[in-house]
Structure 1
Amino acid sequence: MVERLLPSDPSLIGGHRLAGRLGAGGMGVVYLARSPLGVWCALKVIRAEYADDHGFRARFRREAELASRLTSRWTVPVVAADAEARSPWLATAYVPGPSLAEALALHGPWPEAQLRGLGSALAEALDGVHAAGLVHRDVKPANVLLAVDGPRLIDFGIARAVGATALTTDGSVVGSPGYLSPEQARGRTVGPSSDVFSLGCVLAHTATGRPPFGTGGAAAVLYRTVHREPDLDGVPDGLDGIVRRCLAKEPEFRPSAPELRGVFGEFTEDGWLPERLPALVATRATRVLDLPVPEPTMVTRPSPEVSPGAPPSPTRRRLLVAGAALGVTATAGAGAWWRWGRARASANTGSVRRSRHVVALLGDPDGAFFTDHRRGAQLAVEQHNQDARRTVDLVLRTADDGGTAAGSAAAAERLAADPDVSVVIAAGTNATVPAALPPCTEARLALLVTRADTEALNTVNTTTALVLRSTLTLGPPAVLRYLNRAVKPARTVVVHDLAAAAQSLPTVNIATARGKLDSETTVEEVAADEDFTGAARRIAARPQDAVLFGGVSPDRAAACARALRDAGHQGVRLAGEHVLGASFLAAGEGWRIGTGYTDASADARTKAFAAAFRTRHGHPPGPWAAEAYDAVRYAAQGLAALDGDGRSVLRSELLRRPWQGITRRVSFDATDQFFEANDDGGAFLYRVTGGAARFVTRSDDIAEDT
């Protein structure tokens, strides 16, 4: 669907006249534009903050070069690009039809004849992609556009050359769960056969109206992709065999794109779309003709009433920033206005001018650990403001999310609307923090996440959030390292607690499908309505096997602990931090627990902080106090580097170089687009002793004798 331009959008980019918006996301905006030759195109503009990252322009230039190799009639050609623009852009031919995903949602499954036509065209498209030395890596219904004369495969934003360095680190997943291959789900190297698997998923979905590996959370879908057979009930008999071959778990058993072309036959344009879809395609095409070409966007100088040195109004300054981010050339007056905006009012003394920045702590004041967060953050602010060499002053403000997702979203909207707030530290939970992402992203307000670990936060490229800890998707790192370095069991049994299947699946996936454990692994599934007695008996038949509990409920973990003890299990038992409740602590004697927070009083690298905290507050720091302290210091060094203003570009500055805190080292690999917040022992190992979880060591310090 084409939306009208916003007042802040430019009217011209690289000689292309903009006519509307096709979509927007964390990386930038896609416009409908008319080229200098009068051809309609889709013009993707990347946000300036990403272009400032080291190596980005080289990757963007490479993407344009790779996409320009494609010559198939079923792929969309690149017509122009500029990797050197302040906001790099890429223009491709525009296909005015709906996506296959939209067509399926509106009109349901396709008949066999039309499925064959779709398969023929997409197989030919992939044949061309692979012949050019590329792998698409994101073949899905949303990336297939329907035109009157046939489908078009689009969006090569994560394609890469075969044999080239991967765009993501080994072990990460790039693509869309439900359509990516088992090797992609495992984070392994992929080749052309991976695209064939994805095509099989697309054809199965188109034939049945539902994804072949179901719906739900990403971890659950990935697990089914690797371990379960696809749901092909409803695929026509004439296509069932070839679709099953496409969906083979092992790449070598899948057909090639040329073989698929032979199976599906030549594409025939007549009648290739099912009933009702030709009308939908035609309607979308005619809507483009009704769009007006906008008048040029005007960026004016500041009003004469604004005195030199005074900051502009927040609304006006944001308009200029938005214009600059989208490639609008500002006048000299506008440039001066931007410099005025960088000199904020502050409570300065002497000749040193310091800008003033509000750090907002977002969470539930009545929730667990919020007080520890606040006191750790406050100590960081006080220590920072006592440094005579500082160039910025910090003020800590708390924002109440009420302990709900709705409250978190509302509080984030208020913070985003306040121009004095430079950064938000999210101290909430997995249930509340994700709701704060959209308002902060829309306002380009950096959001630093300390405690939450849901996979919904794996969004380094699509939001302004940075997660300063490992998430559930990576499992409990300290536990995995303890098993591999210290225990080295012959076999590890992963207990999949179906009472919290979605939360349990990431740990199951990381230990099995991703192969992050060196030992043999097996899974014991325990239904929500059953206890752990039967599973414990089976596990105890090999009493020295290690046990990794994948659930998050303290009560369920306690029941598992009691059942294993009663069954006579003798091996090591481990779990993640979410099980640490009173019921589990009473039953889980000897269990090892992996956490994302340290015990600042017991950790050798945080004792200076613990002493200062005790002096300031009269008691030792609790969980997450040191992590909140680090979050403030991390934000402060980024704000200082930006010379006073940093709200809209702080996140880019934070990603620019590694930073070492007292709890962990954070870094960003621009080539792989991978943000790592678990360096230098940023995960921690505890042991349950005497009804309490006691600190053992950092993950990086785990050794054979731990």
Structure 2
Amino acid sequence: MERLQAADPSSVGGHRLVGRLGAGGMGVVYLARSPHGAWVALKVIREEYAGDPGFRARFRRETELASRLTSRWTVPVLTADADARAPWLATAYVPGLPLSEALALHGPWPPAQLRTLGAALAAALADVHRAGLVHRDVKPANVLLAADGPRLIDFGIARAVGATALTTDGSVIGSPGYLSPEQARGRTVGPPSDVFSLGCVLAHTATGRPPFGTGGAAAVLYRTVREDPDLTGLPEDLAPTLRACLAKQPDDRPTVPRLLSDFGEFAAESWLPAGLPALVADRAARVLDLPVPEPTALSEVPFTDAPPAPSRRWLLISSAAAGVGAVGGGTAWWRWARSGTPRAGKGPLPTRTIALLGDLSTAVVQAQARGARLAVDAHNASSDRTFDLALRTADDQGTAAGSATAAARLVAARDVYAVIGAGTNTAVPAAVPVCTAAGLCLLITRADTDALDVTNITSSLILRSTRTAGPGSVLRYLNRVVRPARTVVVYDLTDADGGEATVRIVTVYGDLLVGTVEVAQVAKGAGFTDVAHGLAAHPDTAVLFTGGLPARAAACAQALTDSGHRGFRGGDEHILGSPFLKAGGGWWISTGYCDPATDPKTRTFAAAYRTRYRTAPPPWAAEAYDAVGYAAHGLAAPGGDQRESLRAELLRKPWQGITRRYSYESQSQYLETGQDGGWFLYRVEDGGARFVARYDDIGKKKS
């Protein structure tokens, strides 16, 4: 347990907080005293999730179901508040030791204790399923070892039976290594999924290692879906049951009643292996003499039952931040576009300002600013417009701090109706919470980072296809044109996070439709010689590189060339740095930006850009042009003239731009990447990347 932090509240819902038990993606779990003096584990959900009305409804429904769950082997939900600013729930606090920690300290369990553990956890699942729930996250960390037996805890992602999994492209709810194949694929799950997870937990407890190995999440998920588990060392009498639990097909797994029969009764007298009872008792004793904590820094700011509305005080704070950031800032932080074309015989129109936020010293942001100005001029030249547009640019200096400061100034300017986030992965995420707090819509053109995966609970929209959906154009080219008999996915663990989604999409989700697929993991910092030599006997094998480091991709390209590989080689736009462009001749690349100077569908824009700026439009200029047009589309809709409602209006109706069709999935609120979803195919030649085709045109016969 950790001490309370200065930003933690002193109390929540009448519960006095004592310390932190843990923190995760959904929120923070505190040890607390209830108003009646009982110890509770109180989980406070992060406020960004609470901004989604659908989340509150699910949270309310699931806590109500969980509160009806009465089982010796689970921890009861005592009370909850789904309507608080930060929803919370309190469960009984059971002092003990997580199974994950016990395995790390004491290793595998003997067969007798393993069997009795299985009996208790199977009984817990029986009660969970009888209550109409599926746990969905059965893993060693969620099995608490108490003196009188184990408890299955943390129903944080439990869902009512039959509910559909909420996943974005390539995302998985659950813990890789313990979730079922159907859960790994993002499909609807039921009680058999929990049986699979229980089999993983018991196999890990028996052998001391996860049955599908370790490493990057994508590799573990691939083995879960496609390969047999490593069950070496299982006790002979339990091996058939656990193998059956780990069957790939849900219908082939034993039912929970069958498991109860196989495991037998819980043996309370000697259920823990030698050495663990003393450790569990010591852990339980630590809570008895805890002092009453000192009030934290936020003790005078109570949790309220309703989300806070924008206030005058917030606007003044934002304005003050703007003043501080402007001192010594060098050049002015805005520039105005020229005013609209006058309308004969009519009065002036209201003006809606759109801001563009990015590092104005860089060529790519300057190109976006130019594209945006062309869109503003095109809008203001329309005779049937109902408002004029103006463009303001704000410099984030390429840093997170600069982005947050500039965003605060834009928030304080009430004439700004939307912000185009033209910056990088470093800067743009810092603007998201600032804009969300004020309800200002942030339209993100080129940033592509996992830090933006929660945009569906913010005021932001990502206007591009992201690596979360994989290298779409390269996969389509492989499926429609190359059609390789064998593809090797080179998973570079030096950038494991950057390549994980692609590996999962190609293997688990099966978006590569032709031939066989193999994954070759390259250890962090290791070379690619072994992978290249492995391909020497099959030089026509297709290679798909996953990861986003240009130098690493260049090393892979050189190793393949040296080995005599002559098959297809592909990757995504993140590897297009100078080291790779020098070594990657002949590679095919999927991007989220078009080449407006070459793409036939952007000829009119390219001509206007050349006329205005005396140069060909570079990448991302057309995407910024579309961002302004898309914002204007939303502002023109009924209710779109209120900046807090602009995002909702944009999601309501698809819009066709010059680079792609803007249509968003209803749950994930990610750009739909099917027809005209904004993928483009390039080929590396002569030290540069040459535009080849849009996603929709790949594989089509030329007339």
Relative to the length of structure 2, the TM-score reads 0.73
Relative to the length of structure 1, the TM-score reads 0.73
CA contact (8 A) 2:395 2:402 kept: no
CA contact (8 A) 1:606 1:662 kept: yes
Per the alignment, residue 699 of structure 1 pairs with 695
| Alignment partner of 1:217 is 2:216 | yes
Q: Distance in 1 between matches of 2:11 and 2:394?
A: 40
- Per-residue deviation at 1:583? 7.8
Per the alignment, residue 277 of structure 1 pairs with 279
CA contact (8 A) 1:181 1:194 kept: yes
Partner amino acid, structure 1, of 2:694: R
CA contact (8 A) 2:10 2:296 kept: no
* 1:597 match: secondary structure: coil
24-33 vs 245-254, which deviates more?
24-33
Partner amino acid, structure 2, of 1:494: V
User: For residues 81 and 418 of structure 1, do their structure 2 counterparts lie closer, same or farther at Cα, with a shift above 3 Å needed?
Assistant: same
Per the alignment, residue 474 of structure 2 pairs with 479
Q: Distance in 1 between matches of 2:632 and 2:286?
A: 49
Q: Distance in 2 between matches of 1:682 and 1:438?
A: 22
CA contact (8 A) 1:438 1:463 kept: yes
User: For residues 119 and 606 of structure 1, do their structure 2 counterparts lie closer, same or farther at Cα, with a shift above 3 Å needed?
Assistant: farther
Q: Distance in 1 between matches of 2:435 and 2:215?
A: 24
Per the alignment, residue 512 of structure 1 pairs with 507
* 1:55 match: secondary structure: helix
Partner amino acid, structure 2, of 1:487: V
Per the alignment, residue 164 of structure 1 pairs with 163
- Structure 1: 5+ residue stretches without partners: 300-322, 402-407
Q: Distance in 2 between matches of 1:147 and 1:442?
A: 42
- Per-residue deviation at 1:469? 3.6
Per the alignment, residue 415 of structure 2 pairs with none
CA contact (8 A) 1:96 1:147 kept: yes
- Residues 433-452 of structure 1 mapped to structure 2, 5 A cutoff: 450-451=445-446
Per the alignment, residue 358 of structure 2 pairs with 361
* 2:368 match: secondary structure: helix
CA contact (8 A) 2:590 2:680 kept: yes
- Per-residue deviation at 1:11? 4.2
Q: Distance in 2 between matches of 1:276 and 1:637?
A: 66
Cα deviation digits, residues 275-319 of structure 1 (max 9, x gap): 4422343134426674579999556xxxxxxxxxxxxxxxxxxxx
| Alignment partner of 1:376 is 2:368 | yes
CA contact (8 A) 1:99 1:143 kept: no
- Residues 225-374 of structure 1 mapped to structure 2, 5 A cutoff: 225-232=224-231, 239=238, 242-273=241-272, 274-286=276-288, 290-291=292-293, 298=300, 326-327=304-305, 337=313, 360-361=357-358, 370-374=362-366
Q: Distance in 2 between matches of 1:339 and 1:398?
A: 20
Q: Distance in 2 between matches of 1:110 and 1:487?
A: 50
- Per-residue deviation at 1:139? 1.4
Q: Distance in 1 between matches of 2:102 and 2:456?
A: 28
Partner amino acid, structure 1, of 2:202: L
Q: Distance in 1 between matches of 2:183 and 2:358?
A: 37
* 1:373 match: secondary structure: helix
- Residues 292-691 of structure 1 mapped to structure 2, 5 A cutoff: 298=300, 326-327=304-305, 337=313, 360-361=357-358, 370-377=362-369, 379-380=371-372, 389=387, 394-401=392-399, 425=421, 427-428=423-424, 450-451=445-446, 453=448, 458-460=453-455, 468-484=463-479, 486-487=480-481, 489=483, 491-496=485-490, 502=496, 506-523=501-518, 525=520, 528-530=528-530, 532=532, 535=535, 537-538=537-538, 540=540, 548=544, 553-556=552-555, 558-559=557-558, 562=561, 574-578=570-574, 580=576, 592-607=588-603, 609-615=605-611, 617-627=613-623, 662-665=658-661, 669=665, 672-673=667-668, 675-676=670-671, 678=673, 680-687=676-683
Cα deviation digits, residues 542-579 of structure 1 (max 9, x gap): xxx86655576553564577589x6776xx66443345
The alignment yields a C-alpha RMSD, in angstroms, of 5.2
Per the alignment, residue 105 of structure 2 pairs with 107
- Residues 15-34 of structure 1 mapped to structure 2, 5 A cutoff: 16-20=14-18, 22=20, 27-28=26-27, 30=29
Cα deviation digits, residues 33-73 of structure 1 (max 9, x gap): 55566554444454565445453443333323443453322
- Per-residue deviation at 1:476? 0.9
Partner amino acid, structure 1, of 2:475: L
User: For residues 37 and 6 of structure 1, do their structure 2 counterparts lie closer, same or farther at Cα, with a shift above 3 Å needed?
Assistant: same
- Per-residue deviation at 1:236? 5.7
User: For residues 235 and 674 of structure 1, do their structure 2 counterparts lie closer, same or farther at Cα, with a shift above 3 Å needed?
Assistant: farther
CA contact (8 A) 2:594 2:691 kept: yes
- Per-residue deviation at 1:447? 8.0
- Per-residue deviation at 1:663? 3.6
Q: Distance in 2 between matches of 1:90 and 1:64?
A: 10
| Alignment partner of 1:200 is 2:199 | yes
- Per-residue deviation at 1:397? 0.9
229-238 vs 95-104, which deviates more?
229-238
Q: Distance in 1 between matches of 2:420 and 2:396?
A: 9
Per the alignment, residue 140 of structure 1 pairs with 139
Partner amino acid, structure 1, of 2:530: E
Q: How many residues align?
A: 652
Per the alignment, residue 154 of structure 1 pairs with 153
- Per-residue deviation at 1:136? 1.8
Q: Distance in 2 between matches of 1:419 and 1:690?
A: 42
- Residues 38-57 of structure 1 mapped to structure 2, 5 A cutoff: 39-46=38-45, 50-53=49-52, 55-57=54-56
